[in-house]
């Protein structure tokens, strides 16, 4: 796949689930920064600040990983980690030879290593501001798509008067977080909605179906380890497998799995979008 080879919400959640059991409750004993020149430069005192700290319960907000830390002096802070377009976090062992583009190692007391790999260096690790409510990178984000705050009423209310295409509306992180190009295309197919339709011209009933489809698609992708992308692997080094079940994304010119019609490729908001002209209206 090209053009969308980046971790989306299910890939980040899969990463969190993969690395959390190896990190939570454990002490950091060493930090190695091989390449500090990421999208945001690695904080110069990161190693000094992390060594001796204990790791709390990892969380995810949108495509960000939040790693709570309690220092040896009892100070609580959180790291904010973004994987960018090609980044991955995986668990290695002390002594495993780093590969090219393995930029950061966080060594844990039991000789496990949290290793950050990022060929394009579009990701970053930085300190979270005092809280999620004040950090400028998080404060304007919409609800999590698998939370109770996200439903058809939410989509319907925010869409009134909006002329932009519903697919672009669904991919707006101020509307709902983490619904990238792949999962938006799949959810719109399941809901039977043409991705080009104006967001403000879709009924509440159809938005109920769309919200349910978003939840179903993302939950299925998380269960199967995310979408197989060129650069993505999970926190334990395994590729995702959801791509085997994609209905429309990347299948332009192939028959619709539902009706058999040839799937059509178009552009929505400067992003490639494949849909079925019969099933999606």
- Count, residues in the chain: 281
Helices then strands, each counted (H, E), the chain: 6, 11
| 117 marked ligand binding residue | no
State yes or no: is 8 an active-site residue: yes
The residue from 7, 10, 145, 195 that is catalytic is: 7
Look-up of token digits 């932009």: 164
Rounded distance between C-alpha atoms, residue 206 and residue 212, angstroms: 10
The residue from 16, 63, 90, 206 that is catalytic is: 63
Nearest to 131 by CA among 189, 95, 80: 80
| 101 marked ligand binding residue | yes
State yes or no: is 43 an active-site residue: no
Chain centre to alpha carbon of residue 58: 15
| Helix 9-23 × helix 204-223 angle, to 10° | 40
The residue from 8, 11, 13, 186 that is catalytic is: 8
State yes or no: is 271 an active-site residue: yes
The residue from 16, 90, 206, 271 that is catalytic is: 271
Largest pairwise CA distance in the chain: 64
State yes or no: is 140 an active-site residue: no
| 120 marked ligand binding residue | yes
DSSP sequence for 209-248:
HHHHHHHHHHHHHHHTTS---TT---TTSPPP-GGGG-SS
Binding site listing: 101, 120, 162
For the annotated binding site for DNA, the residues are 101, 120, 162
Residues annotated as catalytic are 7-8, 63, 271
């Amino acid at each position: 796949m090209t053009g969308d080879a980046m971790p989306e919400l299910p890939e980040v959640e899969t990463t969190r689930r993969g690395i959390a059991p190896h990190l939570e409750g454990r002490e950091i004993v060493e930090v190695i920064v091989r390449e500090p020149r990421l999208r945001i430069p690695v904080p110069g005192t990161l190693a000094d600040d992390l060594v001796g700290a204990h790791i709390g319960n990892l969380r995810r907000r949108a495509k960000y990983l939040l790693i709570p830390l309690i220092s040896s002096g009892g100070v609580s802070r959180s790291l904010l980690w973004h994987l960018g377009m090609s980044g991955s976090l995986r668990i290695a062992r002390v002594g495993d030879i780093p590969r090219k583009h393995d930029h950061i190692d966080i060594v844990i007391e039991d000789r496990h290593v949290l290793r950050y790999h990022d060929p394009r260096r579009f990701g970053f690790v930085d300190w979270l501001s005092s809280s999620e409510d004040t950090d400028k990178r998080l404060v304007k984000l919409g609800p999590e798509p698998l939370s109770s705050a996200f439903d058809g009423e939410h989509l319907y209310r925010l869409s009134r008067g909006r002329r932009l295409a519903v697919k672009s509306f669904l991919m707006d992180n101020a509307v709902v977080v983490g619904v990238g190009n792949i999962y938006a295309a799949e959810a719109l197919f399941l809901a039977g909605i043409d991705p080009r339709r104006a967001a403000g011209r879709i009924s509440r009933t159809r938005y109920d179906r769309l919200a349910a489809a978003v939840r179903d698609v993302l939950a299925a992708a998380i269960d199967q380890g995310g979408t197989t992308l060129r650069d993505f692997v999970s926190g334990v080094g395994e590729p995702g497998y959801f791509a085997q079940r994609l209905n429309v994304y990347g299948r332009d010119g192939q028959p619709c799995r539902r009706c058999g019609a040839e799937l059509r490729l178009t552009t929505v908001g400067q992003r490639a979008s494949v849909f079925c002209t019969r099933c999606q209206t």
